[in-house]
Amino acid sequence: MCPKSTDSGQDPFRAPKIIPKEKAGDALTTSLIAAVAVISVLSISITAYSVVHAPIRPDPELFDFDYRPTSVSHLAFGIGGSTATWADRARYSDLWWKPGSTRGYVFLEEDPAGPAGSGIQHRVSSEWRRFRRTKGPESAVRMARVVADLFRVGLPGVRWFVIGDDDTVFFPENLAAVLGRHDHQGMVYVGGNSESVEQDVEHAYDMAFGGGGFALSYPLAAELAAAMDGCLDRYHYYYGSDQRVWACVVELGVGLTLEPGFHQIDIRGDPFGFLAAHPRAPLVSLHHLDSVQPLLPNRTQHESLTALMKAYPADPPRTLQQCFCYHRKHNWSVSVSWGYAVQIFPALLTAMELETPQQTFKTWRTVSDGPFTFNTRPVSSDPCKRPAVFFLSSAEEDGGSEGTVTAYRKAGDRVTSGCNEDFARAMAIENITVLAPKMEQQEWDQSPRRHCCDIEENLRNRTMRIRIRRCRNSETITI
């Protein structure tokens, strides 16, 4: 790894004189002592040392042989906010912020006039106007510095610094579990990119998009805090704060570790198809929720998220996880997206079709039908082939079975005349109850496998019960 030699204005083509980082202060001190031997040696060495090392304060707890698995208590959140809009935007972080459990700050331009009215405390961003900027809003520089500002607070026992926007909704327990699978003592940069290919082409495939949030291990955040200001001047021509941070991470020789549960939500329209076929990975974040239709019909986006956030604690690792079962008598394929929606397709579809998101949405910038960074399938043009959809109505833990009971209610009535019997029978169902064992976060540590389910139907009272279970050995999801 190259030391930060470019910052000191050295000619990179001259024979590199690589000074190991830990020794840099000493070498500098020595030459200064030789040059100005008359002056107090002690005071100079202290000054020189602090210039080189000031931002890097080793965290004593990091080397404290803490072998506990990574939990929310090991995370520090840095939210990029704005004084003018924070009172309104705080409604997003208040959905997931738990005072006393989550730690961190929202960073604003200045102290808000009135009370912020949020569980998350604010801090004022340090100087950001003096940096060169030829593209992007002024806030892009300020937000990029959130990493350094948050690091310099010096919160104890932090393994991961997590950066997000003021409209990012995090799922903290899942985030901690996902990060726990990576080495927090190494230099690690974890996040996700954009769902819209046009955005990845315009910005970068290899950068973590800031709205979906990203995480930096402690050692990487320490290096980044030291290198950030130089990077900001060098990468003045980038649009966003996330791209500036990424450029700086790249200068440290580190690349992005993609985790499929971070969601920038760079899509327009109805996110249903995407959320009902979530990747086989824990849900970590959602963003751009003001720009897409509400997750639940007849509810505001905030009501929808509040409902989702009520189901989430009942079984965090299972949230939005999909499983499939078939009702052979009625030719139904049933897809459950736990804690969100159940669909009954009036036809037998393969597991491959069921796990491919239906394209109920468009791309972010040009509002086109793709391409996306995942495969999609079109929503059927024949209304009789579209699924009956049931959305979350309640979620609770079941003490007896140590599992969960989630209920889903049919979304509106659809005309069934002209459609076949299978469709009419599916539309006659009003409520679906899903029983599930709780998932262990550790299940995601091994090679994760989709769960199986069985249908217990009773059409007389217009309800259907689905029981989720772990698949048996050699069991396949086959029509």
- Choices 22-30, 168-176, 334-342, 405-413; region in contact with ligand NAG by CB under 6 A: 405-413
Contacts of 335 (CB under 8 A, 6+ apart): 276, 277, 322, 323, 324, 342, 343, 345, 354, 387
Location of structure tokens 């409902």: 307
Stretch that binds ligand NAG, among 70-78, 128-136, 185-193, 460-468 (CB under 6 A): 460-468
Q: How many Cα neighbours within 13 Å face the side chain of 86? A: 25
Residue 350 interacts with ligand NAG (CB under 6 A): yes or no: no
Cis geometry, peptide bond prior to residue 172 (ω within 30 degrees of 0): no
Cα separation of 381 and 267, whole Å?
A: 21
Site string for ligand NAG, 306-345 (x = CB under 6 A): -------------------------x--------------
d(CA 139, CA 237): 14
Instruction: State yes or no: residue 415 binds ligand NAG (CB under 6 A).
Output: no
- Does 411 bind ligand NAG (CB under 6 A)? Our answer is yes
Q: Of 378, 458, 459, 470, which one interacts with ligand NAG (CB under 6 A)? A: 458
Distance between CA atoms of residues 282 and 172, nearest Å: 11
Q: Does 462 bind ligand NAG (CB under 6 A)?
A: yes
Site string for ligand NAG, 35-64 (x = CB under 6 A): ------------------------------
Q: Which is nearer to ligand NAG, 115 or 412 (CB)?
A: 412
Query: Which of 7, 206, 430, 443 lies at the binding interface for ligand NAG (CB under 6 A)?
Result: 430
Instruction: Closer to ligand NAG by CB, 126 or 298: give it.
Output: 298
Q: Which helix (H) or strand (E) holds 325?
A: strand 322-327
Question: Given the complex with ligand NAG, which of 177 and 435 has the nearer CB atom?
Answer: 435
Q: Is 461 in the site for ligand NAG (CB under 6 A)?
A: yes
Residues in binding contact with ligand NAG, number by CB under 6 A: 15
Non-local (6+) Cβ contacts of 136 within 8 A are: 238, 239, 240, 241
* 64: phi then psi, degrees, rounded to nearest 5: -100, 20
Q: What is the 3-state secondary structure (H, E, C) of 337-368?
A: ECCCEEEEECCCCCHHHHCCCECCEEECCCCC
Q: Which is nearer to ligand NAG, 223 or 422 (CB)?
A: 422
Q: Which residues bind ligand NAG (CB under 6 A)?
A: 297-298, 331, 393, 409, 411-412, 421-422, 430-431, 458, 461-463
